[in-house]
Structures are given as structure tokens and as C-alpha cells.
Amino acid sequence: MANFDLEEQEQIDQLKHFWAQYGNLITWVLIVVLGGFASWNGWNWWQRSQSVKAAALYDEIDRAAQARDAAKIEQALADMKSQFGRTTFAAQGGLLAAQSLFEAGKGDAAKAALSWVAESASDDSYQAVARLRLAAVHLEAKAFDDALKVLQAPVPESFASLVADRRGDVLMAQGKTDEAKAEYKKAWDSMGARTEYRQLVQVKLASLGVDVSPAKTGGAQ
């Protein structure tokens, strides 16, 4: 029994010595680890909270759009931009607001909304969609130089063909048929063979005397 007491005491002394030497380090490591875990949970909670609030504002834009209430659309979009500007809902809300405002005859407000999405959206794809739509609005207003300037910005590869097609539309409106042909051909070449939109580009090329049907291209496309 005495031997057991001595062994136990020796183990206790060793533990005390170990803790005296490494106790502070262990404590700080635990604080850092647990603090990081708490911060991660807090960040996730904050992100979820932001998404829920942003979704509510998007719904507000949607309701205002269905009611054709331009003033409410602009107010809801302003709130979205100021509070949740980096969320996906903000980009979606901006595109929806722009479409509704354009249909309501508020062209400048629509352009402002699209410009904001094109410059501020956190996702490159939404930026590209906004640029394509903004170029179309400029084209409708015959602001051809503005349209081409918008289309100069880099976009994801998956949007390159659509940008070339839209650039062709602008050049055609300017009467620059040779340049328009080149852009339409670039769009047609870069689109997948099964892409439905490719048929529309083919029609545009045909109207300019360019035949890209399989019979003429040897089926290579």
C-alpha cells in the first residue's frame, strides 16, 4: 500500500511539473482553437442571417415589380445595395429591378441598376449578364459607342460568344457590316453545335451572305 502511495505521489509530482512547464501553452492553444471555432460558428450564423434578410428584400423587389411600382423598386434596390450589396440576392435583385424599370420607361434608372451589377456583383456571371443587358439598352437608345465600351470588359469564357454576338448587333446598327460579320462568325464558331442560340447567329450571318450550314462547312462544326 505504501508503494502504491509513493507511485501515485510520483505521478502527481510529474503531472504538476509537466503542467508548470507547459500549462500556459496548452491553455493558450485551447483558447485559440475554441475561439476560432466560436468565430467560425459566428461567421456562419452571420452569413445565414444576411442571406435571409437579403432574400426578404429580393422578395420586396419582386412584389414591387409585379405591381409595376417603380418607386418601390428603386427604394428596395437602394436598401439592398447599401445593406447586402455583396450577396447573390443583390445581383439578382439588380437584374430584376433593371428589367422592370426599363419596361416602366425609366431607362436611366434601368441603366444605373445594370451598371451597378456589372461593377459590383460578387459573381462574374452576373456581371457578364448585366453587361450584355446594358449593351442592349444602349443599343436601343442608339448609344453605340457606349454599348461597345460596355462590351470591352472581360467576361467568363462561357459568355464570350454572347458578347461577340451582341457586339455584332451594335456594329450592324452602325452600318459596319464587315466588322459585324467577323463578330457573328466568332460567336458562331465558339458556340456549341447543340446550342439553340447558334441557329439565330446563323440566320444573322446568312442575312449578310455568309453560309455556315453543315453542307458548306463539311460538317466540321
Give the domain CATH number at 55.
1.25.40.10
CA–CA distance, 211 with 58 (Å, rounded to integer): 45
Same domain, yes or no: 207 and 178: yes
pTM over 0.85: no
Q: Is pLDDT larger for residue 35 or for residue 208?
A: 208
Same-domain pairing of 117 and 196: no
For residues 61 and 164, membership in a common domain is answered with no
> For residues 122 and 91, is the Cβ–Cβ distance under 8 A?
yes
- Whether residues 78 and 102 share a domain: the answer is yes
* Domain identity same for 168 and 62: no
| Inter-residue contact 70 to 105 (CB < 8 Å) | no
Q: Is residue 186 part of a domain?
A: yes
Indicate if 187 and 121 belong to the same structural domain.
no
pLDDT tens readout for residues 142-192:
999 999 999 999 999 999 999 999 999 999 999 999 999 999 999 999 988
Report yes or no on 22 lying in a domain. no
Q: Are 189 and 103 in the same domain?
A: no
C-alpha–C-alpha distance, residues 70 and 161, integer Å: 33
Q: Specify the pLDDT at position 154.
A: 93
Longest dimension (CA), the chain: 107
Residue 62 included in any domain: yes
Asked whether residue 33 is assigned to any structural domain, the reply reads no
Whether 56 and 143 share a structural domain: yes
- Please check whether residues 148 and 65 belong to one and the same domain: yes
Give the domain extent around 65. Answer: 40-155
Asked if the model's pLDDT at residue 126 lies above 80, the reply is yes
Q: Rounded to whole angstroms, how far apart are CA atoms 8 and 176?
A: 95
Which residues does 144 contact at the CB level (< 8 Å), separation at least 6? 138, 170, 173, 174
- Of 28, 113, 31, 118, which Cα lies nearest the Cα of 76? 113
**Cβ neighbours of residue 118 under 8 Å, at least 6 residues apart?**
127, 130, 131, 134, 150, 153
pLDDT at 57: 87
Of 109, 138, 155, which residue sits at a domain end? 155
Could you tell me if residue 21 is inside a domain?
Answer: no
In a shared domain, residues 148 and 163: no
Q: Alpha-carbon distance 112 to 96, whole Å? A: 13
User: What residues have CB less than 8 Å from 73, skipping those under 6 apart?
Assistant: 61, 64, 65, 97, 100, 101
Q: What pLDDT, on the 0 to 100 scale, is given for residue 219?
A: 44
* 44 and 115 housed in the same domain: yes
Assess contact for 205 and 212: CB atoms under 8 A.
Answer: yes
3-state secondary structure of 68: coil
Once rounded to an integer, what is the mean pLDDT over residues 211-216?
A: 70
pLDDT in tens, 67-91: 999 999 999 999 989 888 888 889 9
Share of the chain above pLDDT 90, in %: 58
Amino acid at residue number 72: K
Domain identity same for 207 and 134: no
